[in-house]
Amino acid sequence: MEPLRTLLFVPGNRQNMIEKAQALPADVLVLDLEDSVPAAEKANARALVRDSIAGLALKGQRVFVRINSLASGYAQQDLEAVISDGIDGISQPKPSSGDEIRRVEAIIERLERDRGMRQGHVKLIPWVETAKGLLNAFEIASASPRVVGIAFGAEDFTLDTGMERTKEGSELHHPRVMVVIAARAADVIAIDTPYNDFRDEEGLIREARLARSLGFEGKFLIHPSQIDPVNQIFRPSAEEVAHARRVVEAFEAAEVQGFASTSLEGKMIDIPQANRARKLLGIAESIAQSEQG
Ligand code: COA
Ligand code: MG
């Protein structure tokens, strides 16, 4: 799959930002119809997003649209406006169960059929951002083959659970780990919450590193200045790639000798380390390919 390291939110009612986004190097642009758009602007944003998709796709951008939740009453209209060949997927906020994913999927399926699109073209990234959503995260992540990743939404999650939202974020450790476990059990990727303090690059880098170390493969962003640092953090470094190559070579040499473990630079290498190294090489390869193309 193509990388999903950096997913930049662009408010759906801000024409200048959508234009600016044409040339930004995020892996994915997420045109937002939900919480960055006030109620009075919903219809306006829906039309603007609908009309912007083809142009962004033409510029080579991968586009997702974050629709409003099923509970809002807007989701169906949002989907009718935006389902088209130019989008890669839909991001669904605040689902509490797998059933809610299947309800959105049913609407998408019908629209794909009516519009002569390839069935299954439109992917899904649901948000895990409520107490119920977190307890049902595996069910949500495995509700449909369209789901490619699940996103952790810290603002709504701490609001829903009554947790204090602190700067250092220790309250987010447990839900983050649960989101990663649910994602991996469903064989999809986990994507971390946005970092709101967009002038604080150091804090952003610290949080993105932490997310990567916990198993997240990408992060939602709110500001263009966040793209480069976060792309870099989720790209395996040259040293990591070189080390992974040495691990795989050492392991394969041991296998030829009939061993499933060996040593490299004073440390044991066995099957999990070799597989970890292969996974890292796979990620590095898919990033290199997407950055060339
Ligand atoms: N996408 C595209 N362009 C963006 C952008 C975004 N998310 N955020 C800022 N920009 C543009 C600005 O329009 C500005 O363009 P200009 O130089 O042509 O005028 C430039 O980047 C620099 O922006 P800056 O002045 O630093 O910030 P701002 O005050 O204009 O915007 C926010 C700050 C937070 C309001 C804005 O980044 C934003 O709306 N982010 C998305 C919020 C969102 O979607 N939230 C919902 C998800 S939680
Ligand atoms: Mg939210």
* Boundaries of domain holding 48: 6-233
Are residues 271 and 131 part of one domain?
A: no
Kindly state whether residue 282 falls inside one of the protein's structural domains.
yes
Q: What's the CA gap between 139 and 136, in Å, rounded?
A: 5
Q: What's the CA gap between 211 and 205, in Å, rounded?
A: 10
For residue 2, how far is its CA from the centre of ligand 2 (angstroms)?
24
Query: Minimum-distance ligand to the CA of 159?
Result: 2
Kindly state whether residue 21 falls inside one of the protein's structural domains.
yes
How confident is the model at residue 1, as a pLDDT? 75
Three-class SS state of 91: strand
Domain count, the chain: 2
Burial class (CB in 10 A: 0-12, 13-18, 19+), 183: buried
Q: What's the CA gap between 163 and 66, in Å, rounded?
A: 25
User: What's the chain's length in residues?
Assistant: 293
How confident is the model at residue 61, as a pLDDT? 97
Q: Calculate the CA 163 to chain-centre distance.
A: 24
One pLDDT digit (tens) per residue for the chain, 293 residues: 789 999 999 999 999 999 999 999 999 999 999 999 999 999 999 999 999 999 999 999 999 999 999 999 999 999 999 999 999 999 999 999 999 999 999 999 999 999 999 999 999 999 999 999 999 999 999 999 999 999 999 999 999 999 999 988 999 999 999 999 999 999 999 999 999 999 999 999 999 999 999 999 999 999 999 999 999 999 999 999 999 999 999 999 999 999 999 999 999 999 999 999 999 999 999 999 988 86
Kindly state whether residue 1 falls inside one of the protein's structural domains.
no
Task: Output the domain CATH number for residue 163.
Answer: 3.20.20.60
Are residues 242 and 221 part of one domain?
A: no
9 lines ligand 1 (CB under 6 A): yes
32 lines ligand 1 (CB under 6 A): yes
- The pLDDT tens digits of the residues spanning 167-190 come to 889 999 999 999 999 999 999 999
Are residues 252 and 218 part of one domain?
A: no
Are residues 194 and 249 part of one domain?
A: no
Are residues 269 and 127 part of one domain?
A: no
Q: What's the CA gap between 53 and 87, in Å, rounded?
A: 7
Are residues 228 and 263 part of one domain?
A: no
The last residue of a domain, from among 189, 213, 233? 233
Q: What's the CA gap between 82 and 12, in Å, rounded?
A: 12
Q: What's the CA gap between 164 and 156, in Å, rounded?
A: 11
- The pLDDT tens digits of the residues spanning 217-263 come to 999 999 999 999 999 999 999 999 999 999 999 999 999 999 999 99
For residue 292, how far is its CA from the centre of ligand 2 (angstroms)?
33
Pocket test for ligand 1, best of 10, 15, 16, 17 (most atoms within 8 A of CB): 17
Kindly state whether residue 60 falls inside one of the protein's structural domains.
yes
Residue nearest to atom 37 of ligand 1 (CA): 223
H-run or E-run covering 174: helix 173-185
Three-class SS state of 262: strand
Query: Minimum-distance ligand to the CA of 196?
Result: 1
223 lines ligand 1 (CB under 6 A): yes
Are residues 287 and 202 part of one domain?
A: no
For residue 39, how far is its CA from the centre of ligand 2 (angstroms)?
15
Residue nearest to atom 14 of ligand 1 (CA): 17
22 lines ligand 1 (CB under 6 A): no
Kindly state whether residue 217 falls inside one of the protein's structural domains.
yes
Are residues 263 and 129 part of one domain?
A: no
222 lines ligand 1 (CB under 6 A): yes
The last residue of a domain, from among 203, 233, 263? 233
In this prediction the pTM is: 0.96
Are residues 262 and 135 part of one domain?
A: no
Q: What's the CA gap between 14 and 32, in Å, rounded?
A: 10
Residue type, 287: I
Strand 267-269 and strand 262-264: the pairing is: antiparallel
